[in-house]
Amino acid sequence: MILKEHTKHTKLARPTLGHFGRNEWSIVGTNCGNIQRLARHVIEALSAQYQCAYLDADHASADAEPGLPGMLAAGASIEYTDAIHSHRFQSNEKLGAHQFRQMFHAADLLLVNGNHHEATAQIVVIDPVKENSLRKRLSQLSNVRLILLAEGVEQVFDFLENALPGFAEIPLLPLADVDGIVRFFQQEMTLKTPPVHGLVLAGGRSVRMGQDKSVMTWHGKPQREYMADVLKTLCEEVYISCRAGQEIESDYPSLPDTFSELGPYGAILSAFRHQPNTAWLVVACDLPLLDPATLEFLLQNRQVRRIATTFESPHDQMPEPLITIWEPKSYAVLLSFLAQGYSCPRKVLINSDTLVLPVPNPAALTNVNTPEELEKMNWI
């Protein structure tokens, strides 16, 4: 008798994450001052386009008297201070990778002082002052992507060259070449921009309409097929979202809800559960006037530093959640709202870092939910 291997936990598609976030880089091989200056230059250059974060240690407290600061000393586990222009949290709780990833989920680029923390990608500075320190960190150099030469240094340490596979292909720049280093990161960030997949929402029960809206024909084919065809010209992959158990006859793959009874919210979460490393252009199926040009405008103005890019509804001037590009970072946000008892995607957009665009063609956002609205549409 052959026994099947027992699986204790459901196998889930996991986001590509490091110790702290999706795209983390440690800078090692030089003193902390050089690391901080380099990180500042890169962040100043890229922060308008990407959410940037920085990890370090508190160097000033190294020689301070031991003990907890502020209310932590009185027994508080977390202390928050509104510093007017910034916000400061202090905690005495031990943080692991799961907690750090929650804190930095929105960061597109995370730079790390490698003298204190590790990261999944590394930038190595060749600085004689830190040669011995770098020798001790060889085991941490698993993915070196850039080597920088400190002032007066002309070649890489022999021990490092021998230790790094593919050394000849690793770019080499002077540490003082700030523009070159920024260009390197700009190229890396472009390569790491999440692709956009399309999701047609066709899982609604169409109670108000009295018939399945997703198979109504305005363009010579079922509306869900028409919308999928439009998305196919703009997205790498296209799926039709449906309820669990709902039969969908289509050339496009269906994506059943795995978060049941949550409507569109569950459909979006189910898409991220299926592919958590992509952005999703979510489109409702009951928009007969939605045209390719309107969706192309949304994609052209996409900002990956936000959790989502959407349109302002001409009906109520609120974000339109069902014609929206949801970035991978929004997955954690959607789950956190659900954990607090909310399942409204519009509420997430309103209370998060969302880009809301004026729609170039307001008629394109016209919904058809009732027989009365259908009758009006038939006259257009």
What pTM value is reported for the model? 0.90
Q: Residues 128, 225: one domain?
A: no
pLDDT band at 10 (very low <50, low <70, confident <90, very high): confident
379 vs 143 pLDDT, higher one: 143
pLDDT band at 376 (very low <50, low <70, confident <90, very high): low
User: 24-73: per-residue pLDDT in tens?
Assistant: 999 999 999 999 999 999 999 999 999 999 999 987 655 555 678 888 88
Partner residues linked to 357 by β-bridges: 311
Confidence at residue 344, expressed as pLDDT on a 0 to 100 scale: 96
Range with lowest mean pLDDT among 152-161, 187-196, 243-252, 290-299: 243-252
Concatenating the DSSP letter of every residue in 109-125 gives EEEEETTT---SEEEEE
Domain assignment of residue 68, yes or no = no
Say whether pLDDT at 89 is over 50: yes
Domain assignment of residue 367, yes or no = yes
Confidence at residue 209, expressed as pLDDT on a 0 to 100 scale: 46
List, in order, residues 6 or more apart from 159 with CB less than 8 Å away.
135, 138
Range(s) of the domain holding residue 318: 196-377
Q: Which residue, of 143, 169, 191, is where some domain finishes?
A: 191
Say whether pLDDT at 207 is over 50: no
Domain assignment of residue 74, yes or no = no
Give the relative orientation of helices 264-274 and 330-339 as an angle to the nearest 10 degrees: 130
Q: Residues 221, 352: one domain?
A: yes
Domain assignment of residue 2, yes or no = no
Per the structure, the count of domains in the chain is 2
Q: What does the alpha-carbon distance between residue 181 and residue 324 come to, in Å, rounded to a whole number? A: 34
- Average pLDDT on 314-334 reads 95
Confidence at residue 204, expressed as pLDDT on a 0 to 100 scale: 60
Q: What does the alpha-carbon distance between residue 29 and residue 97 come to, in Å, rounded to a whole number? A: 24
Classify residue 295 as exposed, middle or buried by CB count within 10 Å of its CB (0-12, 13-18, 19+): buried
Q: Residues 111, 160: one domain?
A: yes
Q: Residues 125, 170: one domain?
A: yes
User: 259-278: per-residue pLDDT in tens?
Assistant: 988 999 999 999 999 999 99
Q: What percent of the chain lies above the pLDDT cut of 70?
A: 89
Nearest to 228 by CA among 284, 182, 274: 284
Domain assignment of residue 10, yes or no = no
49 vs 372 pLDDT, higher one: 49
Q: What does the alpha-carbon distance between residue 303 and residue 283 come to, in Å, rounded to a whole number? A: 18
Domain assignment of residue 70, yes or no = no
Q: Residues 279, 359: one domain?
A: yes
Q: What does the alpha-carbon distance between residue 348 and residue 264 come to, in Å, rounded to a whole number? A: 13
List, in order, residues 6 or more apart from 363 with CB less than 8 Å away.
289
Q: Residues 293, 267: one domain?
A: yes
pLDDT band at 252 (very low <50, low <70, confident <90, very high): very high
Say whether pLDDT at 16 is over 50: yes
CATH of the domain at 291: 3.90.550.10
Confidence at residue 210, expressed as pLDDT on a 0 to 100 scale: 44
CATH of the domain at 52: 3.40.50.300
Q: Residues 218, 285: one domain?
A: yes
Q: What does the alpha-carbon distance between residue 286 and residue 201 come to, in Å, rounded to a whole number? A: 9
Q: Residues 203, 150: one domain?
A: no
Strand, coil or helix: 360: coil
Confidence at residue 379, expressed as pLDDT on a 0 to 100 scale: 43
CA–CA distances in Å: residue 5 to residues 10, 11, 14, 197 = 13, 13, 21, 34
**Can you list the pairs that 222-227 forms with residues at least 24 positions away whose Cβ atoms lie under 8 Å?**
223/285, 223/286, 223/288, 224/200, 224/248, 224/250, 224/285, 225/250, 225/251, 225/252, 227/200, 227/283, 227/285, 227/287, 227/290
Q: Which residue, of 141, 160, 191, is where some domain finishes?
A: 191
Structure tokens given for 117: 């923390």
Contact call for residues 345 and 298 (beta carbons, < 8 A): no
Domain assignment of residue 363, yes or no = yes
Q: Residues 234, 165: one domain?
A: no
Confidence at residue 217, expressed as pLDDT on a 0 to 100 scale: 75
Domain assignment of residue 218, yes or no = yes
Nearest to 163 by CA among 130, 146, 141, 136: 141
250 vs 145 pLDDT, higher one: 145
Say whether pLDDT at 158 is over 90: yes
Say whether pLDDT at 133 is over 80: yes
Q: Residues 180, 209: one domain?
A: no
Q: What amino acid occupies position 59?
A: H
- Average pLDDT on 197-212 reads 69
Q: Residues 178, 278: one domain?
A: no
Confidence at residue 370, expressed as pLDDT on a 0 to 100 scale: 55
Q: Which residue, of 191, 215, 248, is where some domain finishes?
A: 191
Q: Residues 131, 183: one domain?
A: yes
